[in-house]
């Protein structure tokens, strides 16, 4: 937007930059080295760790914002957006902003999902989503069930199991990537897949499923300890624990739900149809139902790898080209 000399404002409901990284668990790291995790124009500083930890990522984002003096208004949560003639009317608390185009870039962290399993409300122990998990301190001495076979499930099992009795529930057998496969490799696979699909060519990425678990150091250590073994899935919850698919019951003190997120787009319901996951109809990042609306950074829904620091570059550039064309057409 700066390079295109667009008149823009970024609204952020948080008081400091950092996005979802401000709310993740304390030990979370990137899946890629710093060299492959940069935003345009200014590289992320090298880290003493192969995968930069949470605070280094937050520091980089805050320094990046300050370096480029981005036009950000903080502490403003968008409640609703309406269309009035050629303008969108953005409702932010007791104020409104008019805009000719909108980029929705609110990601997924604000819409955690927990499956509605029979008996879930009867459980008397602790239940939290991975989006609210910080560290294992609150689980010491508790028998804990971590639910979900993705990266968050594996990393939280790895951490909590060092302090207390932990089991891992997954619907399918967890799949681990080779040790040499990191986020940068997966980005390249996703890019090659995207290019092939655009050109109508076949592409086989089956040997490295993009949803498989990345072997970051804590996961490697936990695998050596033998704790990353699935106990399978369950079909019912009761007040003291779960009923496994084989019919056996088991008591737990706490559940950590690593069951993913929907898209945090509910504030757009007045201008576009949103399904139960928060998805609207788009072609790449452009809305198909509302002229002047784009969705950026939501992962494969709106651009392969666009939910990553390196992957967002491609989606962002293309979106700004389209917005320039739209604004020139509607002067």
Which residue matches tokens 């639910």? 147
Q: What residue spans define the domains of the chain?
A: 10-110+261-329, 120-176+213-257
Q: Does domain 120-176+213-257 have CATH number 3.40.50.1950?
A: no
Average pLDDT over residues 20-43: 90
**pLDDT (0 to 100) of residue 205:** 58
pLDDT at 178 over 90: no
Beta partners for 176? 213
Q: Compute CA distances 79 → 87, 91, 129, 246, 263, whole Å.
A: 17, 6, 24, 46, 15
What's domain 10-110+261-329's architecture?
3-Layer(bba) Sandwich (3.50)
**pLDDT (0 to 100) of residue 160:** 97
pLDDT confidence tier of residue 52, bands split at 50, 70 and 90 = very high
Pairwise CA distance, residues 113 & 136, whole Å: 21
Token representation of residue 77:
């949560």
**pLDDT (0 to 100) of residue 295:** 98
pLDDT at 208 over 80: no
Tens of pLDDT, residue by residue over 90-116, are: 998 788 999 999 999 999 999 999 999
Tens of pLDDT, residue by residue over 263-300, are: 999 999 999 999 999 999 999 999 999 999 999 999 88
**pLDDT (0 to 100) of residue 84:** 94
Ranges of beta strands (E only) in 175-248 are: 234-238, 241-244
Average pLDDT over residues 229-241: 97
pLDDT at 23 over 70: yes
Cβ contacts of 152 within 8 Å, gap of 6 or more: 130, 258
**pLDDT (0 to 100) of residue 310:** 81
Instruction: Give the predicted TM-score (pTM) of the model.
Output: 0.88
Cβ contacts of 60 within 8 Å, gap of 6 or more: 44, 45, 52
The answer to whether domain 10-110+261-329 and domain 120-176+213-257 are alike in fold is yes
pLDDT at 44 over 90: yes
């Amino acid at each position: 937007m700066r390079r295109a000399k667009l008149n823009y404002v970024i609204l952020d409901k948080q008081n400091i930059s950092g996005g979802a990284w401000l709310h993740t668990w304390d030990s979370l790291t990137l899946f890629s080295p710093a060299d492959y995790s940069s935003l345009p124009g200014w590289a992320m500083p090298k880290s003493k760790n192969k995968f930069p930890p949470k605070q280094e990522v937050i520091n980089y984002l805050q320094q990046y914002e300050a370096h480029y003096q981005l036009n950000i208004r903080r502490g403003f949560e968008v409640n609703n957006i309406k269309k009035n003639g050629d303008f969108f009317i953005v409702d932010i608390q007791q104020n409104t902003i008019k805009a000719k185009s909108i980029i929705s870039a609110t990601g997924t962290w604000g819409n955690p999902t927990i499956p509605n399993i029979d008996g879930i409300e009867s459980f008397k122990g602790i239940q939290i989503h991975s989006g609210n998990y910080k560290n294992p301190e609150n689980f010491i001495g508790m028998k804990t069930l971590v639910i979900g076979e993705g990266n968050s499930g594996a990393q939280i099992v790895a951490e909590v199991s060092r302090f207390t009795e932990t089991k891992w529930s997954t619907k399918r057998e967890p799949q681990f990537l080779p040790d040499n496969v990191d986020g940068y490799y997966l980005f390249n696979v996703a890019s090659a897949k995207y290019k092939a699909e655009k050109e109508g060519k076949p592409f086989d990425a089956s040997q490295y499923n993009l949803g498989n678990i990345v072997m970051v150091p804590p996961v490697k250590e936990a695998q050596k300890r033998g704790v990353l073994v699935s106990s399978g899935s369950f079909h019912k919850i009761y007040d003291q624990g779960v009923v496994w698919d084989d019919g056996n019951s088991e008591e737990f003190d706490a559940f950590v739900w690593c069951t993913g997120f929907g898209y945090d787009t509910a504030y757009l319901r007045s201008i576009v149809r949103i399904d139960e996951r928060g998805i609207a109809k788009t072609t790449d990042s452009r809305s198909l139902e509302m002229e002047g609306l784009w969705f950026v950074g939501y992962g494969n829904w709106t651009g392969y790898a666009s939910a990553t620091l390196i992957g967002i570059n491609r989606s962002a550039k293309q979106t700004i080209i389209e917005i320039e064309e739209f604004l020139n057409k509607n002067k």
